[in-house]
A and B are shown apart, each in its own frame.
Chain A
Amino acid sequence: MKNDFKEAANIRYLTSKDIKFYETKGGLLGAALDGEDVGRCDVLRLFPLHKPDSFLSVRRQAQSHRDRATELGIIESLDSFTEEEKALILHELEKRYFVPEIIKVKNAKEEFGHTYWEVETNAGERSFTTFDMSASLVRIDANSVLLIDVDGSRYLIPDLKKADDKAMKMLDIWL
């Protein structure tokens, strides 16, 4: 009786036997479920911070305004899929969950409760503004944090030990 609720939830876990992924003509992710083409799909992470490449929700896109996106199933592990499929899925994930890593803080200045950052990221240079540091910092683990700016964009500081003085000066008391 112990795991009855798992059955009740009736979640479909997908492997390469159930679903095949392909690249659409527009360069996006398409899929065929049980041999039937479902067209364009989205892949979403269930645990984006700690399990980025497993527990992925595969969703068929809404076909019209009145339609809602439906979940086709969950992929627990990408292991069973071909290299091409994996590359496609990972590219799709990277695009959706794009978070630049801060390499260097060129300038950080606090004024009127807002902090103005000028940073170099692995995706290029960027300036952004954070407001209310206590609400803008998400700690991922002992060494890495996410900064969330006023527009809701996220920036990753992958290793606090390697972070430069300017960044630490702003973050120190909040950590």
Chain B
Amino acid sequence: METYNLGEYSAILRCDMSRDSSYGEVWLLAYEDRLVKIDADTGAMVEYGYEGIDEIRNEDFINTGQFVIKKEGEYTPFAFYSNSVGRTASRFTMVVNKLKDKTELTEDDFKTFGDDNVCPTCGKPYRDPRRKICPKCMNRRAILVRLMGYLPKYKLSLVFMGICMVATALIGVMRPYVSGKTFYDEVLTEGGKYFGMVVPIVLCLMALEVSRLVVNIIKERIAAKVSANIVFDIKSQIFSAMQRLSMSFFNSQHTGSLMNRVNNDAEEICFTILWRIPELIINSLTLIGTAYVMIMMNPVLSVIVFIPVPFTVYMMKVVFPKFRKVKNASWQKRSKLNSVINDALSGIRVVKAFGKETSEIDRFDKASNELYEANVKEGIRGARTFPVMGYITSLGGLFVWAVGGAQVMNGTGGMTFGTLMTFVGYMGMVLGPIDSIVNSIDWLTETLNCAHRLFEIIDRKSDVVPSPNPVRMEDIEGNISLKNVTFSYEPNKPVLKNINLDIKKGEMIGLVGHSGAGKSTITNIITRLYDIEEGSLTIDGVNIKDIHPDDLHKRIGMVLQETHLFSGTIMENIAFARPDATYEEVVSAAKLANAHDFIMKLPDGYETELGKRNTNLSGGERQRINIARAILLDPRILILDEATASVDTETELQIQQAIETLTKGRTTIAIAHRLSTLKNADRLVVIERGEIAEMGTHKELEELGGIYAGMLGKQKEALKIRGMDDEE
């Protein structure tokens, strides 16, 4: 193997493919003047000087990708990688191109190279980069300890529960002893301590049963109460953690699925803490107690009692999973059948319209048949597994009878009939606890998994961090200034590039551009749903990151395309941002928003409970309530993001009127696809691929004959086709 002196390189990448269709190990090193490729398997080294190279890029395929050099118009592939390197590959390409063009590198360029995809404990990359768990290093004990952190609040209840648990175990161990040894040897045998006292001993047994019942009821009552409290604690902690998080958390797909599971997870955890763990403790105590008593009485027979244990453990670990698999398979067939039924019924109009009833019936028959077969298989497997298990257990019992019986007859080992009966009683008490202890591994793992998901949310830091010394701004005037602003949701894919925009107070700006151009992103950073990475964003000359969040949100109002109303009354919805508003203020806001009249048509007026029967508001009505909400806030800066996109022309007109009242004297940033909506704007800004392409008044831009003029032309044409004319 060759040894190279690698010197000072700027970036390094490990590619996991040696050719386009085989795995291997190839390293790419980016220097200031050249790119070097070293094949770790053969030791071969190739250098590519940047001179004469037009571009270096990476092209992604299905499973893999390739690095390509473009030189004199010709593309040449020079290295390959699989999807697991893909993310880093595009980052690497960017760095190489910056080196080639002699552009200065920033720390951001190296973001995904570094530590965030590597487990901090063992230094290995995460197997699943979206879920930052290293299964090897996950500290199970730490999670468990942290879970137990929910308990101290309920110390007293738990102490009671503990006492109940010990009592249950104790009574459990005592019962067979009393009904066996004491009853046969002391009561029924001549010369016994309690000879002939049948009734008292039966009463004594009854008392044991009753006390076990009482202790159990007490335990369950405490557990029910504590478990409800703990679920509440966990859920409220998670909910407040989620509210605190920034938008980027909610946008990532992965966390969406995380949140769906929050409810189940919290309950699963609680179930474990309060039912399964106590059960495990009781079982362990019973087992220890039973074993102790048995060994004290007759060590030889004790060993025999435990003979079937390895068999049951084997059954649990090997035979049962197989059975579970069969069960699972039939469960899957059932859900498949359900989805066939669901498909056919919810799509019944389509099925009938295309005359496909017969083929749907066939599909059903097929799924139904599969389920039938799976069920038969399950039945057969079950019929085989359970009797065999029962047989093995009873076989152990026979051993006890045989050996114990012989001992009683011979009088060896101090064996009495009572002792034998006690053993028979204990026999049944040993296997149950062992089963549950063996099973505990499974649920413990599952619970830890749940807990980890929850802690992931609770521990997550918000990307938008409030300033430690925020500036209080009681009065925001509404001058907004963006300087060289660059922003990306995902590394290496800038959505906004070098945006420079000064908006004066009271000005109305219309943002125009194709879908995905970055219009909404501009409003997202002005409202600080996201923080910008490069450049500066100031409001009245103060950096947005330094403004106290309360002041910022009090002074920025938003009307969005999605009209979300909360459950509650119309009054509460309008007063959402200002719960202290007076009745007069709410009514005035509704009036200005053209909402007053339709609200008055509802029987409960402003106190109409939304979401109840007969209170389905139309899209336009909901939107006007949103506008009333924004009017009531009396913001200095107003953002209208496609506020009228989802309503008909008539309603749009009404909303338009409402908006005109709203925008007066406020800095307004409006986004609209229908360009006619923006006719009142002082200036229009055309965004194209994250950059400002054109800026000016409607008239100026129309005369410019650029992108805006093109969009205007297309819309006019479309309206003409629909038989409408935009010019009023």
Contact = CB atoms under 8 A, between A and B. Distances in A.
B133 A112 contact: yes
Contacts of B127: 114, 116, 129, 150
Interface in A94-135: 94-100, 111-114, 116, 121, 123-126, 128-129, 131
A65 B388 CA distance: 70
B328 A173 contact: yes
Interface stretch (B16-24, B103-111, B347-355, B514-522): B16-24
B82 interface: yes
A152 interface: yes
Given A94-B20, A153-B63, 9 more contacts: A28-B75, A95-B21, A95-B66, A97-B62, A121-B23, A124-B22, A124-B23, A150-B129, A150-B130
B144 to A, nearest CB: 15
B693 to A, nearest CB: 12
Nearest to A152: B83
Contacts of B75: 24, 26, 28, 40
A175 B75 CA distance: 44
B439 interface: no
A96 B64 CA distance: 7
The 3 closest A-B pairs by CB, nearest first: A26-B76, A124-B23, A151-B83
B325 interface: yes
B190 to A, nearest CB: 62
A34 to B, nearest CB: 22
A143 to B, nearest CB: 17
Interface of A: 24-28, 40, 94-100, 111-114, 116, 121, 123-126, 128-129, 131, 149-154, 172-174
Contact of A124 (B24, B74, B86): B24
Contact of B449 (A113, A125, A152): A113
B42 to A, nearest CB: 14
Nearest to A132: B257
B135 A111 contact: yes
B358 to A, nearest CB: 24
B84 A153 contact: yes
B86 A125 contact: no
Given A95-B20, A98-B20, A150 B61 contact: no
A173 B83 contact: no
Contacts, number: 94
B329 interface: yes
A114 B128 contact: yes
B23 A98 contact: no
A58 B495 CA distance: 30
Interface in B313-357: 325, 328-329, 332
A113 B261 CA distance: 13
Contact of B23 (A97, A112, A126, A151): A126
10 contacts: A24-B75, A28-B76, A98-B63, A112-B135, A112-B445, A124-B24, A131-B128, A153-B64, A154-B63, A173-B328
Contacts of A124: 22-24
Nearest to A94: B21
Interface string B52-81: 000000000111101011000011110000
B84 A26 contact: no
Contact of A96 (B62, B82, B128): B62
Contacts of B69: 26
B316 to A, nearest CB: 17
A116 B161 CA distance: 40
Contact of A151 (B24, B76, B84): B84
Contact of B22 (A28, A123, A173): A123
A149 B84 CA distance: 9
A123 B21 contact: yes
A115 B352 CA distance: 43
A95 to B, nearest CB: 4
